[in-house]
Amino acid sequence: MAPIFTRTLSTLALSSLPSSFSHPLPSSRTRLSFTSAFLPQNGLRNGFSCDGLKWKIEKKRNRISVRCEAAVAEKEATETLGEKFEYQAEVSRLLDLIVHSLYSHKEVFLRELVSNASDALDKLRFLSVTEPTLLGDAGDLEIRIKPDADSGTITITDTGIGMTKEELIDCLGTIAQSGTSRFLKALKENKDAGADNSLIGQFGVGFYSAFLVAEKVVVSTKSPKSDKQYVWEAVADSSSYVIREETDPEKLLQRGTQITLYLREDDKYEFSDPSRIQGLVKNYSQFVSFPIYTWQEKSRTVEVEEEEEPKEGEEPKPDGEKKKKTTTEKYWDWELANETKPIWMRNSKEVDKDEYNEFYKKTFNEFLDPLAYTHFTTEGEVEFRSVLYIPGMGPLNNEDVVSSKTKNIRLYVKRVFISDDFDGELFPRYLSFVKGVVDSDDLPLNVSREILQESRIVRIMRKRLVRKTFDMIQDISESENKEDYKKFWENFGRFLKLGCIEDTGNHKRITPLLRFYTSKSEEVLKSLDDYVENMGENQKAIYYLATDSLKSAKSAPFLEKLVQKDIEVLYLIEPVDEVAIQNIQTYKEKKFVDISKEDLELGDEDEVEERETKQDYNLLCDWIKQQLGDKVAKVQVSKRLSSSPCVLVSGKFGWSANMERLMKAQALGDTSSLEFMRGRRILEINPDHPIVKDLNAACKNSPDSSDARRAVDLLYETALISSGFSPDSPAELGSKIYEMIAMAVGGRWGRLEENATTEDAAEADSTEAPEVQVIEPSEVRTEDDPWQNYFLCLSLNMSIDIKDVLFENCAENLYLVLFLTLALKCMQDVPTYLFMPRLQFDYPFFSMFTCSSANFVIGLGRNDSSVILYTTLNLEAKSSKANLELCSGVALWSGT
């Protein structure tokens, strides 16, 4: 609207006004703030316009006010107003779009119609509080569903409030007009009627879902407010409907509504099946407040009289004397489909454990009792009720660990099932193993009631459900029965580790629930709280090692120094462990440190000694780095080794061996980035190991030695494997190992040369008894004797039962016998000396003897390809006829 200037005029100020002005002028001398040039010169009147300005003079008591709308000049409308039109729609096409676009499953038609019937019953119950006469004598409040396969129909009948003719036109004849929604509005306006109700409908399109399966729908309804019963009838492809009064006495209803669906040809077989209908009721409407009966075929056992033809000359037996037999007959009757009650609607204090377990088994088709459960009601900003369960067994399929669509959470709105197909709206993926029901009156649904719309209410519900789940898991971990949490962890531990990766906001709730094996607890899982509690005073971090198994973790070279210093290390042996720990980063202000990576600080190193050691081995480190080239980033003295010669560690920001193995195993992994992400490896050497000391000497005295260089290559390849990495060329590594074995064992045990004569070979393979020759010790040649050191140390070894080692467990080959008997205690007395080129024992003969004294003296020396054996045996025979024999039959000793 244009601004208005208003001023009060005195008598003097109005002296220039035209004489036609009829208002009497007072004697006031109020000064004007604008001149009379503003006033129109064509006469003064109550309302006029001048050059696009509007003026108005008003008289108030002794004052006259002049109003001028001068800010905006108005132009008289010369254009005529346009015509107003209403939107038009092709009703049949619109109805088809509504029905087939809103719903993704045909079966939901039954849910919608049952929900409408439930609303009708609820309306009658509410109205009957103030008008008891509405109930009349029409029977109980109930719903009945009768499929008829012969006629291809489904009939749904309720004893609810019914509809008048006007309500039929208003509710069924107007698309998206919800009678329930209007009823709820009236209830809220009338507080005396009560706003706490369970009415479901709100959109006004649920009824039309009947056309998903029906080509024709007939609605017969009788309201207690009317004496007449009306029939509403429509077909799927029509844009009109028919309403008529019911005159057939056999079809009259006392009260309520009856909907008859004439099924399409494609849907007759499925939805006229009574068992299918009952299954849909149990799935979608199991917890509707009113009883739902379905028409079912049943069977029973009855006794009938056998019909026997009388024999010739016999009179027929009376009915009471005839033989009877039992038979099964089929009949049709009503069966209650929703006998299970919504347990979440009851007070948790009134429900015992057996009821919770029974509800869990029936609802989720489980055979094991749940491991734990929680029942709670949330009030305030969002109101909902829920019962959550932790199953007694984990999923058998690994895909269920990473899939958020597990159909474990059943969502109800006012006890009507909506959906169990969610993609993380109510529960995060890592808690998808939790099963339960959620019922709320406040959830924002789309029109089809199949999709939960994203909203603030949903986020609040999700947050509270997650918190309650963690409280339930925490209660299991703190219970006195430790086996319960052990069972939980074995089944669902992977899910919580996945939560460390996906839900950073709940790390404080997840981390106390984690369990790991450690270097001090290899049999029992340990929590992070226990680990931190047992840490040493000088320990500043939580150390961990990621491997593929518990066995490989125990033998990893990275552990050596930490075990020696009594530092506990977590074993991460599952694929998800390492990523989970990396996402946590800290726990109780303690950082997680990977002991397989560089720059490991244990906190108690001697800096002076460390600096001296580095100086002594700097040349060796540079020499090895030159030899290995780009295979390693650098070579350095290790702080983590005590018994292994070397170890290969990852860079600070590179992949560990375990992570590299996992990334290589990815079916769709990007191998192009593998080289970059794994980083440059670092070879750490142990300065206290003999191999490293020998290499250090070789580096200083003979840096060009081919043997030393081969040793470095083999040392690197071996460190690669022992550190958990995969060798670049396994075949090349195998060739190096075979070469080293050949160098170590070549010609050592009297192997025949290739140029040996056929005659010598025949003698070696001969089965004749070898000639036994006694020689004196002075005849034994000791110069260049490789067995001399073994001979000198025999007297220092332990005594072993000869019978166990030699007589029962040894092989026939003498050389293996000699190897096994090196640990036997030697005696000073050497009464017998035997020289033989090859000796074999037929050890089954020794079962006839017992060992009364076991003096077994061995000396070793090598003379060409022969072996010298010095021995004495004191045996007690089990039988006086027993002899100790060689397999060749030559007796060495006999006696009793």
List 144's β-bridge partners, or say none. 157, 293
> Do 568 and 691 fall into the same domain?
no
From the centroid of its chain, how far is CA 240? Answer: 52
Q: What is the DSSP string of 120-188?
A: HHHHHHHHHHH-GGGTTTS--S-EEEEEETTTTEEEEEE-S----HHHIIIIISSTT--HHHHHHHHHH
Contact 885, 839 (CB under 8 A): no
- State whether 112 and 216 are in the same domain: yes
- pLDDT, tens only, 419-438: 888 777 788 889 989 999 99
* Last residue within a domain, chosen from 745, 778, 807: 745
* Contact call for residues 253 and 155 (beta carbons, < 8 A): no
Per-residue pLDDT tens digits for 784-815: 444 443 333 332 233 333 333 333 333 334 43
| Total number of domains in the chain | 6
Whether residues 788 and 875 fall in one domain: yes
- Reported as type and span, the H/E element at residue 460 is helix 456-478
Q: In 3D, which of 783, 775, 869 has the Cα closest to residue 826?
A: 869
283 and 375: one domain? no
> Does 506 map to a domain?
no
The 10 Å Cβ neighbour count of residue 593 is 16
3-state helix, strand, coil in the chain (%, to 5): 35, 20, 40
Provide the β-strand partners of residue 439. Answer: 385, 412
Read off the pLDDT of each residue in 352-359 and give the average, rounded to a whole number.
93
Residue 544 C-beta-side C-alpha neighbours within 13 Å: 31
Query: Both 277 and 348 in a single domain?
Result: no
78 occurs within a structural domain: no
In a domain, 80, yes or no: no
Supply the DSSP symbol for 805.
I
The parent domain of residue 630 ranges over: 607-745
Q: Provide, rounded to the nearest whole percent, the portion of the chain with pLDDT above 70.
A: 64
Q: CA–CA separation, 246 vs 828, rounded Å?
A: 126
Q: Angle formed by the axes of helices 607-628 and 706-722, to 10°?
A: 110
CATH classification at residue 134: 3.30.565.10
Rounded CA-CA distance 533/587 in Å is 12
Task: Detail the DSSP E strand segments found in 306-383.
Answer: 324-336, 372-378
pLDDT 10s digits, 302-343: 887 777 666 666 666 666 566 777 888 888 999 999 888 889
Helices and strands (DSSP H and E) totals, the chain: 25, 33
Answer yes or no: are the C-beta atoms of 585 and 558 closer than 8 Å: no
- Whole-number pLDDT of residue 803: 37
Mean pLDDT, residues 376-381 taken together: 87
Assign 58 a pLDDT band (cuts: 50, 70, 90).
Answer: low
Q: Which residue has the tokens 């040809």?
A: 265
- The structure's pTM equals 0.66
Same domain, yes or no, for 643 and 722? yes
For 496-600, where are the E strands, in sequence order?
A: 515-518, 521-527, 541-546, 569-572, 586-587, 590-594
Pair (48, 113) in one structural domain: no
User: Do 886 and 865 sit in the same domain of this protein?
Assistant: yes
- CA-closest candidate to residue 484, choices 354, 369, 399, 353: 369
Residues 112 and 202 in one domain: yes
Give domain status of residue 84, yes or no: no
Please check whether residue 648 lies inside any domain of the structure: yes
Q: What is the per-residue pLDDT for 239?
A: 78
Give a yes or no: residue 499 inside a domain.
no
For the segment 254-286, what is each residue's pLDDT rounded down to a tens digit? 999 999 999 999 999 999 999 999 999 999 898
From the CB of residue 886, how many other CB atoms can be counted at a distance below 10 Å? 17
Largest CA distance in the chain: 171
User: H-type helices in 727-793, by residue range?
Assistant: 730-745, 758-764, 788-793
Across 742-758, average pLDDT: 63
Residue linked to tokens 């142990």: 686
Q: Which amino acid is it at 106?
A: K
Question: Residue 867, SS3?
Answer: strand
Distances (CA, A) of 421 to 373, 407, 411, 628: 22, 5, 9, 57
In angstroms, the CA 348 to CA 106 distance is 36
Say which residue, 379 or 645, is predicted with more confidence.
Answer: 645
Structure tokens at 199: 């009415």
Which residue has 């939805």 as its token pair?
Answer: 271
Q: H/E element holding 877?
A: strand 874-877
For residue 372, list its beta bridge partners: 390
- Evaluate whether 546 touches 659 at the Cβ level (below 8 Å): yes
**What average pLDDT does range 446-453 have in this prediction?**
54
Q: Tell me whether residue 81 is in a domain.
A: no
Q: Which residue has the higher pLDDT, 356 or 868?
A: 356
> Closest by alpha carbon to 572, among 563, 562, 582?
582
786 shares a domain with 689: no
SS (H, E, C) 46-98: CEEEECCEEEEEEEECCEEEEEEECCCCCCCCCCCCCCCCCCCCCHHHHHHHH
Q: Which residues contact 259 (CB under 8 A, 6 or more apart)?
A: 113, 155, 156, 157, 210, 217, 218, 219, 220
Q: Does some domain include residue 132?
A: yes
Which domain-ending residue is among 478, 494, 529? 478
Kindly tell me the sign of the dihedral angle through the C-alpha atoms of 587, 589, 590, 593.
Answer: positive
CATH of the domain at 548: 3.40.50.11260
- State the CATH number of the domain containing residue 432: 3.30.230.80
CB 143 within 8 A of CB 111: no
* In contact, 485 and 477? CB cutoff 8 Å: yes
Greater model confidence, 367 or 856:
367
User: How is residue 374 written in tokens?
Assistant: 């929680």
The mean of the pLDDT values for the chain is: 74
Do residue 613 and residue 739 come from a single domain? Answer: yes
Q: What is the pLDDT of residues 463-474, one digit of tens each?
A: 999 999 999 999
138 shares a domain with 55: no
Query: What is the Cα–Cα distance from 833 to 777, expressed in whole angstroms?
Result: 8
What sign results for the dihedral spanned by CA atoms 819, 824, 830, 832?
Answer: negative
